[in-house]
Structure 1
Amino acid sequence: MNVEFINPFVETINNILATMASMSCEYGKPYLKEGNRPLGVVTGIIPMSGDSVKGSLAISFSAGAIIKISSSMLGEAIDEVDETCHDLTGELTNMLSGGARKLLWEKGYDFEMAKPGVLTGEMDIPHDAAGPVLVIPFETSAGPFFIEVVLSSRLQRAALNA
């Protein structure tokens, strides 16, 4: 997957955390994920679909990261991963997908995103396209989180269906 596609997600999450939670994060080297299990304790997922692309985006938070982000964004102490953290994961997923979609649209990618879902526990992440899952790892002062992207282009899908 090319950097032109990854950078909008990195840029968007950095902006969200800086403006909404007064936090910073550093991203690591992207890698291909093995398996379907979430990398964190709470995960937001959103399908992406359009004429040229199909796929999904997931953001998975460690307990420390989502507790700190939730506490910072809401201005109140949160001590454990609770319903507030789950709700905020859905909101963060929505903000991330919307911001990245805008930046990608400016680069010529055109697709829609559905309503985000939130997963907790050990269930598999149901990505909305076949293909490799790219993981972009992030580190905050409170712990890691991960953005996963699966994307297949119309050309890839045509080749798979041939």
Structure 2
Amino acid sequence: MNVVFINAFVESINNILVTMASMSCEYQKPYIKQDQQPLGVVTGMIPMAGDNVKGSLAISFSEGAILKISSKMLGEEITSLEDGCTDLTGEITNMLSGGARKILWEKGYDFDMAQPHLLTGTQMIEHEVTGPVMVIPFVTRSGPFFIEAVFASRLNRAKSIV
């Protein structure tokens, strides 16, 4: 996957957490995902499509990470996933894809986005295109979360961007 795409997701999630939750995170070495299992307890997914590229983005949170992020963003102690964490995961997914879309637009990529959908528990993550799924792991003091993305060039019949 193009490093420009990875950097757009890293920059976007950092901006969201610093601005909306007064939190920081560190990303670790990206890797290729080998299956469709979710990496967290709640996942937001959003398809992204442009003139030459189609793909999807998912962000999966561990329970500790989403509880802390939700508590910080909502200004109250959130103690269970049912206390709005899934809705907030959808909002974070929107913010992440919007932020990354803006950064990528400035670099010459243009994407349309659809409404995010949420997965909980062990629902499989099914991306919009076939190809290597890049995972960017992040750590916070409250637990990990993961961004995964896959993009395929429409010009090269579902080959990922390299």
SS at match of 2:137: strand
Gaps of 5+ in 1: none
Deviation larger for 131-140 or 107-116: 107-116
Aligned residues: 160
- What SS is found at the alignment partner of 1:10? helix
- Could you tell me which residue of structure 2 aligns to residue 49 of structure 1? 49
How far has the Cα of 1:69 moved from its partner? 0.1
Matched residue SS, 1:59: strand
Which amino acid in the other structure matches residue 6 of structure 2? I
Query: Aligned equivalents of 2:30 and 2:82: distance in 1?
Result: 29
Q: Counterpart amino acid of 2:67?
A: I
Post-superposition Cα deviations, 1:53-83, rounded to whole Å, max 9, x if no partner, equal: 0010000000000000000000100111115
How big is each residue's C-alpha offset from its partner over 1:101-140, in whole Å with a ceiling of 9 and x where there is no partner? 0100111111101000110011111200110100000000
Secondary structure of 2:156's counterpart equals helix
- The percent of aligned pairs where both chains have the same amino acid is 71
Match of 1:98 in 2: 98
Answer 1 or 2: which has greater helix percent. Answer: 1
- Counterpart CA distance in 2 for 1:110 and 1:94 is 16
**Distance in 1 (alpha carbons) for counterparts of 2:72 and 2:5:** 29
Q: Which moved more, 1:105-114 or 1:9-18?
A: 105-114
- What is the deviation of 1:159? 6.9
Q: Structure 1 residues 79-88 or 33-42, which shifts more?
A: 79-88
Cα separation, 2, equivalents of 1:107 and 1:157? 23
**1:155 Cα deviation (Å)?**
2.7
Asked if the contact 1:52–1:111 (Cα under 8 Å) also holds between the matched residues in 2, the reply is no
For 2:132, the equivalent position in structure 1 comes to 132
User: Is 1:18 equivalent to 2:18 in the alignment?
Assistant: yes
Give the CA RMSD over aligned residues: 1.3
Rounded to whole Å, the distance in 2 between the matches of 1:137 and 1:107 is 24
From the superposition, tell whether residues 159 and 16 of structure 1 become closer, same or farther in structure 2 (CA, over 3 Å).
closer
**1:4-28 CA distances to partner (integer Å, 9 max, x unpaired)?**
1110100000000001000000000
How far has the Cα of 1:158 moved from its partner? Answer: 6.7
Specify the alignment match of 2:31 in structure 1: 31
